[in-house]
């Protein structure tokens, strides 16, 4: 009699325990699914962010490379112009030295009028 009464009293408790265990399992599966969804969304957002910033970095690198190339072109053009000016000045100096050597030397002290004119041509 006591055993029958205990089995009658334990049956609802066992059923309630099984239902609570099933509810806890379903809750755990729900939380795991939500956690997986959050991880998937976060990794997608990270990938989009990384793609965006890589594109921005590539764009700024391209702009910097173009600026460097333009500066190099300008530097080379300035260097060529300076080289041409130096060559012209050296040629002019050689010409002035030749003209100076062609002037007569009177044995006088100081500069003559012709030599002063050569200096003004510099």
Tokens, residue 120: 């003004």
- Does residue 1 sit within a domain? no
Residue 71: exposure state from Cβ atoms within 10 A (0-12, 13-18, ≥19): exposed
pTM: 0.51
pLDDT confidence bin for 118, thresholds 50/70/90 = confident
Distances (CA, A) of 42 to 37, 39, 48, 88, 118: 9, 5, 10, 68, 82
Distance CA 27, CA 58 (A): 46
Q: Which domain holds residue 75?
A: 15-102+110-121
Tens of pLDDT along 59-111?
A: 999 999 999 999 999 999 999 999 999 999 999 888 888 887 777 777 676 66
- Does residue 3 sit within a domain? no
- Please check the confidence at residue 1 and state whether its pLDDT lies above 60: no
Distance CA 61, CA 67 (A): 10
Q: What is the DSSP letter of 110?
A: S
- Does residue 8 sit within a domain? no
- Does residue 92 sit within a domain? yes
- Does residue 5 sit within a domain? no
- Please check the confidence at residue 120 and state whether its pLDDT lies above 90: no
Tens of pLDDT along 22-58?
A: 999 999 999 999 999 999 999 999 999 999 999 999 9
Q: What local confidence, expressed as pLDDT, does residue 119 receive?
A: 73
CB contact at 8 A, 118 and 101: no
Distance CA 70, CA 65 (A): 9
Nearest one of 56, 33, 35, 36 to 48, comparing CA atoms: 56
Number of domains in the chain: 1
Q: What local confidence, expressed as pLDDT, does residue 2 receive?
A: 65
């Amino acid at each position: 009699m006591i055993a029958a009464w205990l089995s009658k009293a334990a049956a609802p408790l066992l059923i309630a325990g099984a239902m609570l265990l099933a509810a806890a399992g379903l809750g755990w599966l729900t939380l795991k699914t939500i956690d997986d969804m959050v991880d998937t969304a976060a990794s997608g957002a990270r990938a989009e962010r990384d793609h965006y910033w890589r594109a921005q970095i590539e764009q700024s690198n391209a702009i910097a490379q173009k600026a460097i190339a333009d500066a190099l072109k300008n530097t080379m053009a300035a260097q060529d112009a300076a080289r041409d000016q130096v060559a012209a000045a050296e040629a002019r100096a050689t010409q002035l030295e030749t003209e100076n050597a062609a002037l007569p030397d009177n044995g006088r002290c100081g500069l003559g009028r012709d030599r002063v004119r050569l200096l003004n041509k510099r």
